[in-house]
Amino acid sequence: MLVETPASPIQQAVRLMVIFVASMWLIEVVDVLVFDQRLDQQGIIPRTLGGLDGILWAPFLHGGFGHLLANTLPLLILGGFVALGGWRRWAAVTAFVVVVGGLATWLFARPAAHIGVSGLIFGYAGYLLVAGFVERSLRGIAVAIVVGFFFGGMVLRGITPMASWVSWESHLFGLAAGVLAAFVIAGPEEEPLAAGAG
């Protein structure tokens, strides 16, 4: 009989985020090499019926490898912190931010194709800044302080209309959706997955 040791929460979070980010890199490679970046037009196009499904596709579409590279490290770190609460928590926060933040972008943003995972990154930041206080968790509050210290400047710069080529609207609405998600989703962390035997 072989009893496997269950992966630690950190190992599970790292594995989850590596798979998630790798899927984005794979899509970008296909978009650049096969579609000549035409998939970028499948992002959120505000107040158009054809741009509504972009709410689901936008986080996976980027304006080239430089755009995706700039998003990769913040996504791994902030998404990893969320994933420490368990994959179900991560999936719930991710879906909430993508749908609620994306819908607000579709309703209120400038007419353009809004693409990139940065709205989700800002959502993760908003969630982490608030969830520890909602849960009254010392670890969560410590995470909020770390996130505020290292990513606070990014958040403040990213939600103001300073550069026309940046979708500050998706940043702003992603952040707001993340804060709202903290009140809706935050709670006790999941138990680790049970060990298998065979």
Q: What percent of the chain has a predicted confidence (pLDDT) above 90?
A: 86
Single pTM value for the model = 0.92
Instruction: Please name the fold of domain 9-185.
Output: Rhomboid-like fold (1.20.1540)
Write out pLDDT tens, residues 98-149: 999 999 999 999 999 999 999 999 999 999 999 999 999 999 999 999 999 9
Alpha-carbon span 60 to 58, nearest angstrom:
5
What are the residue ranges spanned by the domains of the chain?
9-185
DSSP labels, 48-103? -GGGSTHHHHGGG--SSHHHHHHHHHHHHHHHHHHHTT-HHHHHHHHHHIIIIIHH
Check whether 191 has a pLDDT greater than 60.
no
